[in-house]
Copies of this chain bind each other. A is one copy, B any other.
């Protein structure tokens, strides 16, 4: 009648509750509820070697495009009673290492890294020897880790084909950082599609250090300086944030979009359809990426064979008023 801890432990574990007498079970459940008893998962984690947590590494949560990904992850893993430990690297390699350290020392069952840069590869591979590491959003070219990505190469091609189809022949590209997989793939997709059509792209000597609005403004200024009267008729900007920055610079210089210049952005951000003009943009399925990465984490944790394969979600273009046939 002393109700030993082991019996309570069994009763409280849905997996093993059937091993215990109905009456005892009911009594334990009732008593636990009444006394507000809650099992200690920290102690449980030490004993079982599994914490029921998933690490999530992002560059910067304040970037509006990453939040849906994290939302997708938490909604996927919460069904398995896992919780996310979210850390930010601020796109800094040293911080990346300390983030991995924090997560590893807290013994996460898996980690989803949605903010990898090329320089982080070795650290990530090292981390993967201690816990399952899944790359999401930002891929690494020659890396065996499972990756859940969006088809950025295809997205770049879509942007190019859309502009070519409209009849543009003088194109430019405002690029994001070249050590982030997405931007590299967007660039490759865009240029290869242009090359196939025999159209050359204005080559800006610089790329965005970070995919921010400020960098979009800077690159747009550079493009204006460089082109003088010979401005391209269309420009592909690697994300919406940069596109908005560029747009405001063009506007300030009296350059009308789309009459003087068509603009394609990337991400199809929440309010981008109500800016002036509504921006044509390649859609980024952030929630779906997050859910897929979460599902993959669950499968790997469960030890499903062949789960570690990865995933490539398709891209699509949303046409709006910022692109039109060239009018010059």
Contact = CB atoms under 8 A, between A and B. Distances in A.
A301 B56 CA distance: 24
A107 B270 contact: no
A87 interface: yes
A94 interface: no
Nearest to A106: B41
Interface string A22-60: 000000000000001011111101100001110010001
Contact of A272 (B60, B78, B102, B271): B271
Contacts of A51: 42, 106
B78 A71 contact: no
Given A46-B46, A271-B271, A274-B248, A70 B86 contact: yes
A46 B287 CA distance: 35
A244 B271 CA distance: 8
Interface stretch (A61-69, A135-143, A187-195): A61-69
Interface in A89-139: 101-107, 126, 130
A276 interface: yes
A311 interface: no
Contact of A274 (B84, B86, B247): B247
19 contacts: A38-B105, A40-B107, A41-B105, A42-B51, A42-B106, A42-B107, A51-B106, A52-B106, A61-B74, A62-B67, A62-B71, A78-B87, A83-B85, A83-B87, A83-B106, A85-B85, A244-B271, A271-B275, A275-B275
